[in-house]
Structure 1
Amino acid sequence: MVLLGYAIMCLIFGTTFLAIKIGVDAGLPPFFSAGVRFLAAGLILMIWMYARKKISFSLLLRKETLFIGAGLTFFTFAALYWAEQYITSGVGAVLSATGPAIILLIRSVVLKDKVPSISFIGAMIGLVGVALLMLPGLSGQYHALWVIACLVVVLGEFGYAAGAVYSKQVVSKLQGSSPIAQNAAQMMHGGWMLLVLSLITERGQIHMETMFNSAAIGSLLYLIVLGSMGGHTLFYWLISRTNPVFPSTWLYISPIIALVLGWLIYKEPLNWVMGVGALIILIGVILTNIETLRSLFASQRNKASRDKKVPIVKVYKN
């Protein structure tokens, strides 16, 4: 069941980038679309958890969930949704995979954590991949907004990284609530922030004919139900069944799914330079997290060996 859940999660996360692109291209204002998605998904999850008596709405009043929502949802997805007006969904997915390297940078520079040399090498390799991925825009093959949008996605990942690091710092303060409840609360906070941003910047861009466009409605429903509620719930379910590291490895698989889907289904351009850049970014991401992955595999091996050593006790009935 764990492997099946992991495969479904990777597939869902790999398709969300294309779903965002379809919605934006259908005429949905990016900040409005993102805001509705996360506020609706967070609210539905909150109500569901409340009905099961596993959450209190007072969680929304905690400054921790407010700050986490600002980083993980608001900054990250404001950047991604805006950028996907000008770049392909596949490029957006691969650039989003730079988040772990930025987490490493924050841990090293801000928190003064000791970071392995191989992780720094991985981060540098990832930067080379980002440059290659942006090369078509830098060489004039695409408009200048291509380069700006690529940079915006990477800047948005600083918000993701800050939110992730902060959430680990305050985890003890939120021990009384489940991870799913915490995720619902932070999505709601990120959602209302995105809607406020939309109100300020996207006035006059929301039209009824756009809202009732089948592509726009389909994109929103898919992202709310499968992308935010389904994908994130599976993510936290996997954490509860395994550990925090294993589910996060979707970052190595979903960008490839997004690139291929964008090329096959949406006819997005994909040349060999971009392909090499994407591959280098993924190699960099793996090297950045290599020590964590080694620890994960070592713990799994130790667990398997302990299970083998457990004596079998036979009970006989008289």
Structure 2
Amino acid sequence: MKKSNTNAYMALVVVSIFWGTTYLASRIGVRHTHGLMLAGVRQTIAGLLLIGFFLLRGYKFPERIVLSRLFVIGVMMLCLSNGLITWAMQYIPSGLCAIIVATVPIWITIFSYFLVQRTKFTILLVTGMLVGLMGVGGIFYDYLSSLTNPQFRFGILLTIIACISWAIGSVLTARWALKINFLYGAGFQMLFSGIVMTVIASIMGYSLPIDALNIELWGSLLYLIFIGSILGYSSYVFVLNNLPPSLASVYAYINPIVAVLLGWLILQEHLNWTTGISCLVTLGGVYLVNMAVNRNKKQYGTTKS
């Protein structure tokens, strides 16, 4: 096995496991500050570190058009996605949030059809979507009593909006295909979105309690910056550039399982057979969707050439 492939598989393990742990870290962090503030500070610092790294290596600032598109993608994928997810975890369990986020490939497929028009709705694709939605429905059935709580419903709404925003941002990223180093571009996305979220949270009257030595808050923040943003995203980009997309997407099936188990073990979040089976059904539907999309890509590539 080539060294690059070995490193890529190791990076895939990092993404699969550690990105799943960020739900727990976020859930702990929002106990002490608002979700938008936590996500904003996280992305701002991570963005500054990444941009600084590339500037020290001699990289030049991107052109204005590239920066403007990085701003749009950053707001869609990190502000309206990561920020809202972190905010949502003030109201819903981290495991439940991770399971809903696992449906992102379904949303990407839908928006790809309207914005790129390369996705064909085959029987396998529709079946996968229905199975995935049935799994989510089973999870909601297990939380029927919680749905009477307005804050719980608000958390669910934030998570769904976050999924849609991430999907649109992903489609725009593929459509624009910006000519810039992926990690360098990600640094600007993090910085732009981080500033936006921090400003919004400040206007809402929230702040980061920097005058108090709170181990949970600062531990959560440092973990999200260095493990979630820098290590996790760097590994993800490396995986995308060295492994087939179908293999790279494996992380999407492992992240929710890691998040659910950690939430149950450490935070005593709700977990029973209904939730567990519904989670597996959801992931099964997402798997079918990815399989159908990969088949469509192969067929499209063949006809295109």
Task: Name the structure 1 match of 2:3.
Answer: none
Q: Give the whole-Å Cα distance in 2 for the aligned partners of 1:273 and 1:68.
A: 36
Q: How does 1:124-203 map to 2 (within 5 A)?
A: 124-140=130-146, 143-171=149-177, 174-175=178-179, 177-201=180-204, 203=205
RMSD: 2.4
Q: Taking structure 1 as reference, are residues 17 and 134 closer, same or farther at Cα in structure 2, changes over 3 Å only? A: same
8 Å CA contact 1:42–1:183 kept in 2: the answer is yes
Task: Name the structure 1 match of 2:209.
Answer: 207
Choose from 39, 56, 71 the match for 2:76: 71
Per-residue displacement from partner, 1:145-164 (whole Å, max 9, x unpaired)?
32331232122110000000
Q: Give the whole-Å Cα distance in 2 for the aligned partners of 1:295 and 1:4.
A: 28
Misfit runs of 4+, over 4 Å: 57-61, 292-297
Q: Give the whole-Å Cα distance in 2 for the aligned partners of 1:181 and 1:204.
A: 30
| Offset of residue 136 of structure 1 | 3.2
| Offset of residue 206 of structure 1 | 4.1
8 Å CA contact 1:70–1:190 kept in 2: the answer is yes
Q: Give the whole-Å Cα distance in 1 for the aligned partners of 2:229 and 2:131.
A: 30
Task: Name the structure 2 match of 1:29.
Answer: 34
Q: Taking structure 1 as reference, are residues 296 and 15 closer, same or farther at Cα in structure 2, changes over 3 Å only? A: farther
Q: Give the whole-Å Cα distance in 2 for the aligned partners of 1:127 and 1:12.
A: 26
| Offset of residue 214 of structure 1 | 0.6
Amino acid at match of 1:200: I
8 Å CA contact 2:36–2:197 kept in 1: the answer is yes
Q: Give the whole-Å Cα distance in 2 for the aligned partners of 1:55 and 1:240.
A: 23
8 Å CA contact 1:37–1:224 kept in 2: the answer is yes
Q: How does 1:61-140 map to 2 (within 5 A)?
A: 62-113=67-118, 114-140=120-146
Q: Taking structure 1 as reference, are residues 46 and 208 closer, same or farther at Cα in structure 2, changes over 3 Å only? A: closer
Q: Which is further off, 82-91 or 215-224?
A: 82-91
Q: Give the whole-Å Cα distance in 1 for the aligned partners of 2:246 and 2:184.
A: 20
| Offset of residue 245 of structure 1 | 4.2
Per-residue displacement from partner, 1:16-68 (whole Å, max 9, x unpaired)?
0000001012x121111100001110110111111112452557962210111
| Offset of residue 209 of structure 1 | 4.9
Q: Which is further off, 84-93 or 114-123?
A: 114-123
Task: Name the structure 1 match of 2:61.
Answer: 56
- Report the number of matched residues: 292
Task: Name the structure 1 match of 2:303.
Answer: none
Structure 1 unmatched runs, 5+: 298-318
Q: Give the whole-Å Cα distance in 2 for the aligned partners of 1:97 and 1:151.
A: 15
Q: Which is further off, 119-128 or 49-58?
A: 49-58
| Offset of residue 141 of structure 1 | 7.9
8 Å CA contact 1:68–1:186 kept in 2: the answer is yes
Q: Taking structure 1 as reference, are residues 185 and 205 closer, same or farther at Cα in structure 2, changes over 3 Å only? A: closer
- TM-score w.r.t. the length of structure 2 is 0.88
Task: Name the structure 2 match of 1:252.
Answer: 253
Per-residue displacement from partner, 1:90-148 (whole Å, max 9, x unpaired)?
11111111111001111224444323331122112212222221223323587343233
Structure 2 unmatched runs, 5+: 1-5, 299-305
Q: Give the whole-Å Cα distance in 2 for the aligned partners of 1:241 and 1:99.
A: 22
1:216 aligns with 2:217: yes
Amino acid at match of 2:48: L
Task: Say which one has the larger Rg.
Answer: 1
Q: Give the whole-Å Cα distance in 2 for the aligned partners of 1:112 and 1:238.
A: 26
Q: Taking structure 1 as reference, are residues 131 and 209 closer, same or farther at Cα in structure 2, changes over 3 Å only? A: farther
